[in-house]
Structure 1
Amino acid sequence: MCTGILYRNGAFSYFGRNLDLQYQLANNVTVCPRNFVLNYHHLPPMKEHSAIVGMAITGYGYPLFFDGVNEYGVAAASLNFPGYGQYSTTLEEGKKNITSFEIIPYLLCTCKNLDEVKAELSQINLVADDFNEQIKSVPLHWIVADHDGSIVFEQTPTGLHVYDNPLNTLANAPDFPAQTVNFANYMNLSAEYPVNRIAPKLNVPVYSSGMGTDGLPGGLDSMSRFVRAAFMNNNSHAEETDEATLTQFFHILQTVQQIDGANKEKDGFYEITNYTSGFNLDTMDFYWTTYNNQQIQALHTKALDLDQSDLIVFPSQARQGVSWIH
């Protein structure tokens, strides 16, 4: 399971996600430069395109992106969508037939803003091809953002649906409309200092701050994480600087991280937050933490040679970084 957000703080916008799984993936910080040839199952190869940076599996010579941002500030992340996502089993004439593992690089290599993403999605048929014998197609849905806002798209038995996302938040199942309806159940929550509404004529003691959040879901299930992340994201307050925005972005996603031992799956393994990724949509700088290293690591992507034709791959630091003062 996973959680993704777009955090907007004045002039600054950060996008990213927690990737939650019960096992570690061979994911690496991956730059797909402008001249890396992207091969598609049902489309011609893309030889020139926008540069991308994100987390990906790269051991097969092709960047299997979980999330990423391009040099124009368009970002995307895929989240597990079990029981709801369903891809097409046939190619559709007149549509661009694209697989689930190709959709992030396709959109980020093609689009310069969210309007262009919507236009592309109107022409796309998501097909159910596996990547290879080892990597099978799994049900996913996606959150996509630029500096000004975000959308969600998901393909179900009734077709490919695109939703505006004013909450700038996404978790897993159920579908996005159901998540937003459930969010309305918590509209009485507040970040404000508590007010006595239960018996206004009486002197009811305020024994604690934060009483307006009483009832905020604390579970690790996707419905609870959606509400909690959306509440934190939309009530967040930070100084309008890049550093403060970055710090607050990671704090928001920390409220929905999975802790080893707290969520046992039916296979007997415990789900954990493998990593948290963060993209500055203005600079293309990429930040991340991993479960075993909570120190923020960073890549100044635009300092690299983005015109080359080979993937640029950086293994993420697995051991905890500690800053000693003495």
Structure 2
Amino acid sequence: MCTSVLYKNGKYSYFGRNLDLQYKLGNDVTVCPRNYVLKFRHLEDMPVHSAIVGMALTGYGYPLFFEGVNEYGVGAASLNFPNYGQYNTELEEGKKNVTSFELIPYLLSSCRNLDDVRKELAEINLVADDFNEKVKSVPLHWICCDKKGSIVVERTATGLHVYENDVNVLANAPEYPAQAVNFANYLNLTAEYPENRIVPHLDVPFYSSGMGSDGLPGGLDSMSRFVRAAFMMNNSKAKETDAATLNQFFRIMQTVEQIDGANHEKDGFYEITNYTAGANLDTMDFYWTTYDNQQINAIHTKDLDLDQSELIIYPVGHEQNINWVR
């Protein structure tokens, strides 16, 4: 399970996600330069395209991106969508037939804003190809964004759906419309000092600060994480600086982390937040932490040679870095 957000703070916008799984996948920070040849199953190869940065699996000779941001400030992330996601098993003539593992690089290769993404999605048929015998197609849905806002992309049994995402949050199942309806159950939550509405004529003592958020769901399930992330992000206050926005982004993502031992899956493993990653949509700077290393790591993506033809790969660290003060 995962959570992804677009966090906007004045002129600063950060897009990123938590990747929650029962095991480590061996993902690396991956930069796909402009001249790396992107190959597609049912479309022509793309030898020149926008540069992309994100977390990806690269051991199979192709960047399998979990999320990414391109040099124009467009972002996309894929999240698990069990029991609901369903791709087309047939190719469609007149459509751009794109597999689930190709959607992120395909959209980020050319789209310069969210309107471009919407136009591309109108022509796409999401097909159910496996990547190979080991990497099978899994049900996913996507959040796509630019600095102005975000959308949710879901392919279900009733077709491809694109939803405007006003709260700029995505978790997992059920479908986005059901998540939005459930969100309405929490409209009375507030970050402000609460008002006595149940018996206004009585002087009811408040025993604690933060009582306006009483009832905020604290579970690790996807609906709880959706509401919690939306509440934290849309009530967030941070100085309008890059450093403060970055710090607040990671603070928000910590409120929906999966802690080892707290979520025992039926396969016998415990689900944890493998990594948290985020990018500044203006600068393309990319930041990440891992479960075992809480230190924020980063690269200035645009300082790299983005015109080369080979992937640039940075292995993530899993040893805790500690700043010892002497």
| TM value normalised by structure 1 | 0.99
What is the CA distance between 1:196 and its match in structure 2?
1.6
* Residue 240 of structure 1: aligned partner: 240
* Residue 15 of structure 2: aligned partner: 15
What's the Cα RMSD here?
Answer: 0.5
What is the CA distance between 1:248 and its match in structure 2?
0.4
Q: Secondary structure at the match of 2:209?
A: coil
* Residue 159 of structure 2: aligned partner: 159
* Residue 183 of structure 1: aligned partner: 183
What is the CA distance between 1:200 and its match in structure 2?
1.6
What is the CA distance between 1:204 and its match in structure 2?
1.1
What is the CA distance between 1:30 and its match in structure 2?
0.2
Distance 1:198 1:84 in 2: 39
What is the CA distance between 1:215 and its match in structure 2?
0.5
Q: Secondary structure at the match of 1:130?
A: coil
Distance 2:113 2:174 in 1: 27
* Residue 28 of structure 1: aligned partner: 28
Question: One-letter code of the match for 1:174?
Answer: P
What is the CA distance between 1:207 and its match in structure 2?
1.1
What is the CA distance between 1:91 and its match in structure 2?
0.1
Distance 1:106 1:201 in 2: 60
Distance 1:195 1:43 in 2: 58
* Residue 137 of structure 1: aligned partner: 137
What is the CA distance between 1:197 and its match in structure 2?
1.6
Q: Deviations over 1:252-275 (max 9, x none)?
A: 010000000000011100000000
Q: Secondary structure at the match of 2:38?
A: coil
* Residue 207 of structure 1: aligned partner: 207
* Residue 38 of structure 1: aligned partner: 38
Q: Deviations over 1:156-197 (max 9, x none)?
A: 010000011000000000000000000001101110012222
Q: Secondary structure at the match of 1:102?
A: helix
- Asked if the contact 1:36/1:309 (under 8 Å) is kept, the reply is yes
- Asked if the contact 1:194/1:209 (under 8 Å) is kept, the reply is no
Which 4+ stretches in 1 moved above 2 angstroms?
none
* Residue 255 of structure 2: aligned partner: 255
Residue 192 in structure 1 maps to residue 192 in structure 2 = yes
Distance 2:174 2:164 in 1: 17
Distance 2:172 2:203 in 1: 43
Match runs of 1:1-326 below 5 Å: 1-326=1-326
Question: One-letter code of the match for 1:13?
Answer: S
Q: Deviations over 1:50-71 (max 9, x none)?
A: 0000000000110000001000
Distance 2:203 2:217 in 1: 28
Structure 2 unaligned spans of 5+? none
Q: Secondary structure at the match of 2:173?
A: coil
Structure 1 unaligned spans of 5+? none
Q: Secondary structure at the match of 2:66?
A: strand
Distance 1:176 1:237 in 2: 26
Distance 1:5 1:236 in 2: 13
Distance 1:233 1:12 in 2: 14
Percent identity reads: 75
